Each structure stands twice: as structure tokens, then as C-alpha cells.
């Protein structure tokens, strides 16, 4: 429930951002947590910090014309929301997917503000992308799109201003093309302008693995807080992209057994544990549907169009996309004995699902905390670029693990402080919000 003081603020945000349901959802989820903060810090209300934090500092929309291999001209729409820079330069990924529109970009950018604040690193919040679908496109078509996209975006980004990275549809290949065009236009080898780069371009080790590894570390800390661990637990991970694959890898290293994963066509159940090498071959190398995994893995079962959340488990890690885990799915997981959930994707659980988990006292790690490992390692990449340095895999992973443990500790302690012990949603929202709000007050009315 919203604090009475926040109801008119939320209603005004909905009116000012009509039709942007994902953004409305993200804002409400934060506002439902910060009512007690206003009681403790009336200066936030006096200075209208909430109204300011919910309004982007800058929102950029632009045309992206490009030509396919047949010579046909296409027009896409590009976006960049520079949401909040109170703690540092805007930082957040680029998403290339047909579903991208300004409501999704703003929801992702809003979440990014608090996620970045929770890392304790000096980065603000931003996000961007385009309604371009890279699926089925040749390397040269993707290169031409990325070059056209950066031809407009370059004037808005920079290592001290706004530092994009990858997201859905934007991996190392796309980041390379984007960086190449930025370098060509600006005549500067400004490595820190983009993160998620190939190692040869100044990228960071562990960046590919970071979001999945970080989510597993966070869930491990939630389990430890209850006197448990991954050891001996059955785990279900939705998705089979970058976040899912490396969540699976780290869960296995921590002693858990991932028995199911999915893609948009259905899911596979493998009671002996997902064969990670085979999954990587099918999804990262061959880019096939998840059913191919079951065809090649003896004993694995493929369920077309099924819900991966029907598989009994003790730990669930939604790692595909927003609103993929519904209230009904949450009820099924709880009934089947799930005691911990860590969001690897951005806002994958619906509000109804989150409420069900909290009511059932399931340890629930929201995405702004649990999947902060990706942006944290991007910030480590920025540090390396700034110092013209390159760190080892082991050292970078140690830094990532320490950051995720600190994120967990900050969320846990904040929830305790505000009388909601074990509520990581409230802990994450309040800790992230107060860090940004305090910085905004110190900067003055800007």
C-alpha cells in the first residue's frame, strides 16, 4: 500500500506518463517501500525529492535509418534516458528488441538508478535501446544499424557523462560496432565510453559472467542469512541466455543443481542437472531452440510452451524478461517447496508474485539488488579503462563477490532498520533511494 502522502504523487506520475505501464509498475514498487523514509526524513518531501527522482533529467528519442543486405531502407526508433546523475555519470545498458518503447526504457532506467546506488560505486542511472530486432540479421546488417544508431547517440555519451553497455540483443559484437563508430566520429580512443567491450578493446574479465554470477552470490547470501546454502538444493532458472547460463554455472560451483531452464518455446527438465557445456553449445554457439538440448541429452525432457515454474525446486531464479513470473506461478513454486527467489532479469516477477513470496516468507531478492553484478562489473571496467589497466579474472571476480555481499548486507541491514526484517524488496528500495536522495539534496535544486 502507498503512504497517504505518496498517493497524489503516484497519480500525477501516471497521468504525466500515460500508457507506460512498465514504468508505472516500477515506480509504484519503489514508492510502496519509501513511506517510512518520509517520516524519518521530512526534508525529502519538502524538497520534492520523489517528484524529481521520478522525472528523467533527459530523455532522448531519435530516428535510426539503415539499409539491409538487399538494399531496402528501414527506419527504427532509438532511445536513451539519462535518468539521474546525482551519484555519477549515467550508467545502463542498451536493449535492441521489437518490444522496446519509451515506457520500457524508462522502467529500466528508473530501476537502474537504485541498482547502481546499491553497488556503492559512483555511477548514476540511465538506459537505452531501439525497437530493432537483431534476430535473423547478418553481421553486416547489424553493423550498419549500430553505426547509424551511434551516429546520433555519440553526441550524448562520454566517459564522464553517460556510459552505455549491453542488454538484451546487445552483446560484445554490437558493443564493438558501436565503439568503432564512436571512435571514428570523435577521433578519440575513449575506452570508458562503453562497457561490455571485448578484452582487446579494453573490456573487463568476468563481464560476460557478471550478472549471472552476481545473482548466484546474492542468493547464496540470502540462504546463508537463514543458516542454509545451495548445497543439495534443486534450482530452476528461467531463460537460457547470458544471465541464465552464468547463473547456472555459479550455482553448480556453489553446490546447487539446476534441473530446468527455458526459452520462449518451452523448457527442459534434466533431473541429473543441466549439462552446461551442451547448453552453451546449443544456445551460444548454434543459437538453437532449447528443445535441441533435450534431443541431444539423454534423460532430459522438453516441454513445449510449458511453464518452467511448474518444476519443483527449492530455489528459483527468473532470468529471462520482465513480468515472466506471475502470481499463479508464485503460488505453484511456494506449494512445491520453493524457499528462495533471486531475480536475474529486470522486474521478472509481477507485483502479485512478489506479494505472494513476501507473505509466504520466501527469501526474495529483487532485481535491483540481485542482478546488480552486471553493472558493478561495468563500473570495474570503467576503473580499468580510466587507469589504462587490466585485471585478472580471479581478481575481478573477487571484487564482484565482495560487491554482491555488500549489496546483500546493505539491503538486509536497511530492512532491519526500518522494522521489516528479511524484506529485501523494502531494504533494496530504501537503501538505494536514500543514497540517491541524500546526494540530490547536497547538489542543490538542479
Q: Return d(Cα 62, Cα 14) in angstroms, integer.
A: 24
- The grid cell for 397 is 571476480
Say whether 405 is catalytic.
no
Neighbours of 46 (CB within 10 A): 10
Given the residues 106, 115, 127, 368, the one annotated as active site: 127
Q: Return d(Cα 196, Cα 202) in angstroms, integer.
A: 9
Q: Return d(Cα 102, Cα 341) in angstroms, integer.
A: 29
Buried b / exposed e along 393-422 (16+ C-beta atoms within 10 A)? eeebbebbbebbeebbebbbebbeebebeb
* Separation in Å, CA 193 to CA 81, 105, 158, 212, 391: 16, 20, 5, 23, 19
For cell 538453437, name the residue.
288
- Residues recorded for the chain: 446
Please report, for the chain, how many H helices and E strands are present, in that order. Answer: 18, 12
Do β-strands 266-269 and 257-263 pair in parallel, antiparallel, or remain unpaired?
A: antiparallel
Q: What is the DSSP letter of 169?
A: T
337 — alpha (psi -120 to 50), left (phi > 0) or beta? left
Q: Where are the alpha helices (DSSP H) in 266-390?
A: 276-280, 291-296, 327-335, 351-359, 367-370, 373-387
Q: What is the DSSP letter of 263?
A: E
Q: Where are the alpha helices (DSSP H) in 32-156?
A: 35-40, 42-46, 49-53, 102-118, 139-153
* Separation in Å, CA 326 to CA 168, 322, 331, 364: 21, 10, 9, 14
Q: Return d(Cα 71, Cα 204) in angstroms, integer.
A: 37
Give me the active site residues, please.
127
Amino acid at each position: 500500500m502507498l503512504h497517504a502522502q505518496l498517493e497524489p504523487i503516484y497519480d500525477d506520475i501516471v497521468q504525466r506518463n500515460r500508457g507506460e505501464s512498465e514504468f508505472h509498475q516500477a515506480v509504484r514498487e519503489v514508492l510502496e517501500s519509501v513511506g517510512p523514509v518520509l517520516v524519518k526524513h521530512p526534508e525529502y518531501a519538502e524538497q520534492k525529492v520523489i517528484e524529481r527522482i521520478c522525472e528523467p533529467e533527459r530523455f532522448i528519442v531519435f530516428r535510426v535509418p539503415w539499409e539491409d543486405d538487399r538494399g531496402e531502407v528501414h527506419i527504427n526508433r532509438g532511445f536513451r534516458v539519462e535518468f539521474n546523475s546525482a551519484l555519477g555519470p549515467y550508467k545502463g545498458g542498451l536493449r535492441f528488441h521489437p518490444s522496446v518503447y519509451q515506457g520500457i526504457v524508462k522502467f529500466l532506467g528508473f530501476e537502474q538508478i537504485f541498482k547502481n546506488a546499491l553497488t556503492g560505486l559512483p555511477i548514476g542511472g540511465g538506459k537505452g535501446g531501439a525497437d530493432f530486432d537483431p534476430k535473423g540479421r547478418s553481421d553486416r546488417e547489424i553493423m550498419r544499424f549500430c553505426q547509424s544508431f551511434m551516429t546520433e547517440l555519440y553526441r550524448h555519451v562520454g566517459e564522464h557523462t553517460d556510459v552505455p553497455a549491453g542488454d538484451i540483443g546487445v552483446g560484445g559484437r554490437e558493443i564493438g560496432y558501436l565503439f568503432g563508430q564512436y571512435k571514428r566520429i570523435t577521433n578519440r580512443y575513449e575506452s570508458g565510453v562503453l562497457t561490455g567491450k571485448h578484452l582487446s578493446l579494453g573490456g573487463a574479465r568476468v563481464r560476460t559472467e557478471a550478472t549471472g554470477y552476481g545473482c548466484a552470490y546474492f542468493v547464496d547470501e540470502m540462504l546463508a542469512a537463514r543458516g542454509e546454502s545451495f548445497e543439495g538444493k534443486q534450482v530452476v532458472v528461467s531463460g537460457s541466455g547470458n544471465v541464465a547460463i552464468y547463473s547456472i554455472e555459479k550455482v553448480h560451483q556453489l553446490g546447487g543443481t539446476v534441473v530446468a531452464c527455458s526459452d520462449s518455446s518451452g523448457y527442459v527438465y534434466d533431473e541429473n542437472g543441466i549439462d552446461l557445456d551442451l547448453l552453451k553449445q546449443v544456445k551460444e554457439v548454434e543459437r538453437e531452440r532449447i528443445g535441441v538440448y533435450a534431443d541431444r541429452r539423454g534423460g532430459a525432457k522438453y516441454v513445449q510452451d510449458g511453464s518452467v515454474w511448474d518444476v519443483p525446486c527449492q530455489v528459483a531464479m527468473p532470468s529471462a524478461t520482465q513480468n515472466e513470473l506471475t502470481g499463479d506461478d508464485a503460488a505453484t513454486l511456494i506449494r512445491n517447496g520453493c524457499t528462495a527467489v533471486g531475480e536475474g532479469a529486470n522486474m521478472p516477477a509481477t507485483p502479485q508474485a512478489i506479494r505472494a513470496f513476501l507473505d509466504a516468507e520466501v527469501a526474495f531478492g529483487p532485481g535491483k539488488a540481485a542482478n546488480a553484478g552486471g553493472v558493478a562489473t561495468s563500473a570495474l571496467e570503467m576503473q580499468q579503462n580510466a587507469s589504462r589497466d587490466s585485471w585478472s579474472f580471479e581478481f575481478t571476480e573477487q571484487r564482484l563477490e565482495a560487491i554482491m555481499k555488500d549489496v546483500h548486507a546493505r539491503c538486509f541491514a536497511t530492512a532491519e532498520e526500518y522494522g521489516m526484517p528479511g524484506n529485501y524488496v523494502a531494504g533494496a528500495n530504501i537503501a538505494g533511494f536514500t543514497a540517491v536522495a541524500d546526494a540530490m539534496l547536497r547538489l542543490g535544486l538542479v
